[in-house]
Structure 1
C-alpha cells in the first residue's frame, strides 16, 4: 500500500477533551506510516415485557455430558505457563459468543428494564489471554478474526511489526493512531480514528458501526473486575467491542425473532434482511450496553455505554507504577492524553462500504 503521510492527522492534545456543543468531531482516515453452562437454562429468565408471567421451570435436568468438539480459547504463552494450563483445564469448554452473552444476561437480569424489548447484535470474537502489557495488541488480534477471516493473523506478527515501527517496546500501545496504522499494515483493513469521545456527536456513528458487525477498539481504565473505571489513565487498558444490546419500546417490524430461552430478548434472524433498530436517545441512559472482550478473560463483558464513555474520556496520565518499574515504554508526543484520551478506533474490512 503506497504511503501518503500528508493524510495522517492524529488528534491534537487538548486541555479539555470535551468538544463544544454541536461541534463536529474529527474522524481521520489513517494511512500507514514509517465455562460450563448453567444447570438449567429455564430457571434464569430475561425480564418479561408488559408484566407477563414467566412459565414455571421444569424439574432440574441431570448434568449435561462433557462438550465435544468445542475449541478452547487461544492462550498466548500457554506452552510456557503451567498456571495457565491448569486454569484452562478447570474452565472447561468455552461457549460460543451468543451463549456466552446469554449467560451474562441471565446473571445480570436485574439491570434491564422489564417494560422494554432488548435487541442483541453480536459478532463472534475469539478469546486470547495476554502475556505482559499486550492488551492492545491482543484486542487487535481478536478483531482480526472479523477483518481477516477465518483466523486473522498471528499475534507474534502484530507484536513484531509494532516493535519494528517503533510503536511499542514491551507490547504496550499508548497511541490509538499508531494502532490504526498497525491495523492497516498487518490486517489490510480500513481504520478510522475517532476523536472527541464516545458521546455526541460520535455516539450514533459508533453504534451504527457495531450494528453492522464491525469491531471497535477502545482504550479505557480497567477496574479489578475488568469493568471501566476512572483512574486518570493509571490503569489504561484496551478492549475490543463487536456487539451492542439496545433497549427499545418496540421491535422493528421484520427481521427479528424472540429468543426461546430469554423472553423479551430479540435477535436478528440469520440470513434475513432486518430493519435497522431505532437508537435510544442519548438523554435516556441505561439503554445501551457494549459487548466487549479484553486480554485478561476469555468471556464476554457487558458494559453500560456511558461508563465506557466516561472512562475513555479521562485517560490523561501515565501510571506512576509503570514509570518506576525500570522498563522502557513507548509514549507518543503529548503522552497518554494525546495518545488515548477521548479516542477509539473503528475497523472495517478492506473494501467495505460501511
Structure 2
C-alpha cells in the first residue's frame, strides 16, 4: 500500500497479482470506478495483442461500464516506440464507442504526458494498481471524500500503508435519517442476508426502536438482527485496537460518530451523530507501533463512494458522543434515549456483525 499526492488528487494504491488465473480476483475492486487507466509499453510489439484482448475484456465488465478510459502509451521517447496511430489500431480503440477514451504518449523517466489528465482534478482518487506480467498496469480510480485540513491522511504524504483486510460492500444511499438502518443493510448483504432497507425499517418501527429510521441506541441492533437470523454483538470501544481485533476476527463493524460537513469524523458532542460501516483496515508502516496514522475503509448512507478515515479520529469522535442535537430533544418525530443522553447508548460503543 502506498499513498501519493498530485495537486488536489490523492492516490491510494496497492499492487495486486496480475497473472491470468488471478485476474478473476480483481472484480471486487471494480465497483464505483470513475476512470480506467491502462498503461502499455510502446516498445513491446510482441504483447500488444495480449494487451488489446485484456483491455477489451475489462471494458466488458459490468462494473466498468461507466468508467472513462485513459490509455498511457509509455516509453514514447524510445526509437522503436509505436506511433499513436499504430497503438490505436492495435488496441482497436476505434471500437470503443460506449465511453469517453483518450490515448496519451508518456515517458515515465521525464514525466512527459503523465500529469495532463490530472491538472483539473477536484476530487481525491482512490486507486488500485494491478501489475500484469507483460508490463501493463491497470489503475482503477475511485472517488473518495475530500479530506479537511485536520485529517491525518493529509498531514504526511510520505506515509505508506499495508492493506490488512478489505471486504467489498455494495453501497446503499439513505433516505431521511436512516443511516443506522442503511449501514445495517449493507452489513447484512456481506453475510449473504438479502434484506431490503424497507424491511429492516418496518421491523425496527414494529419493535419501537425507531420512528423515521433513526437509531440512537446501539443495543437495539443485535435484537433487530435476530429478527433476520443474524448475530450481532455490541462492543465497548475502550482502546483504538478494539475495532481492529473485531475486523481481524472476520466481522465488519457499525460505528456511531459525529459526521462533519464532508462526512469525516469530528467532535460535536453527538449533535451530528451518524452511523457508518467499517469493512477494511490499512496499517501505517513507517511510524512506531502506534495506531495514530492507521486508516479504516468505510461506507455510509450519504455517499456511494468508499472512504478512508483516520482510525484515531473515528475513535475520538465515537468517544465524545454524549448529547442529542438540541433541535431534536423535544421532537416527538424521533425515538430518543432517556434524558436525550448518548452516554449509555452510543458513546464508546460499536457493533460487530
Deviations 1:303-341 (A, max 9, x none): 0000000110011111122236x4421123353222111
Question: For residues 211 and 225 of structure 1, what CA distance do their matches in structure 2 show?
Answer: 28
**1:340 matched to 2:323:** no
2:232 is aligned with 1:191: yes
Give the structure 1 partner of residue 304 of structure 2: 298
Instruction: Give the aligned partner of residue 235 of structure 1.
Output: 272
Higher radius of gyration, 1 or 2: 2
Residue aligned with 2:309, SS = strand
Aligned-residue RMSD, C-alpha? 3.7
1:318 aligns with 2:315: no
Q: Which has the higher contact order (CA 8 A, sep 6+)?
A: 1
- Is the Cα–Cα contact under 8 Å of residues 219 and 239 in structure 1 kept in the other structure? yes
Counterparts of 1:166 and 1:174, CA distance in 2? 12
2:216 alignment partner, SS class:
coil
Structure 1 unmatched runs, 5+: 1-34, 43-55, 68-94, 250-278, 348-354
The corresponding residue for 2:165 is 121
Say if 1:106 and 1:126 are closer, same or farther in 2 by CA, change over 3 A. closer
Q: 1:103 aligns with which of 133, 142, 165?
A: 142
TM norm structure 1: 0.57
The aligned counterpart of 2:184 is 140
Shift of 1:240: 0.6
- Look up the SS of the partner of 1:244 in the other structure: strand
Is the contact made by 1:104 and 1:302 (CA closer than 8 Å) also made in structure 2? no
Distance (Å, rounded) in 1 between the aligned partners of 2:174 and 2:279: 19
Contact preservation (8 Å) 1:289, 1:305: yes
Q: CA deviation at 1:214?
A: 2.1
From 277, 292, 299, the equivalent of 1:285 is 292
Q: Normalising by the residue count of structure 2, what TM-score does the alignment of the two structures yield?
A: 0.57
Question: Residue by residue, what CA displacement relative to the aligned partner does 1:115-138 show, whole Å, maximum 9, x if unpaired?
Answer: 645224210211111111111000
Separation in 1 of the partners of 2:245 and 2:97? 40
**Closer, same or farther in 2 for the Cα pair 1:122/1:57, shift >3 Å?**
farther
Q: 1:167 to 1:105 in 2, by over 3 A?
A: closer
Q: Partners in 1 of 2:154 and 2:260 — Cα distance?
A: 22
| Bigger shift: residues 110-119 or 166-175 | 110-119
The structure whose residues are more often strand, as a share, is: 2
How many residues get paired?
A: 234
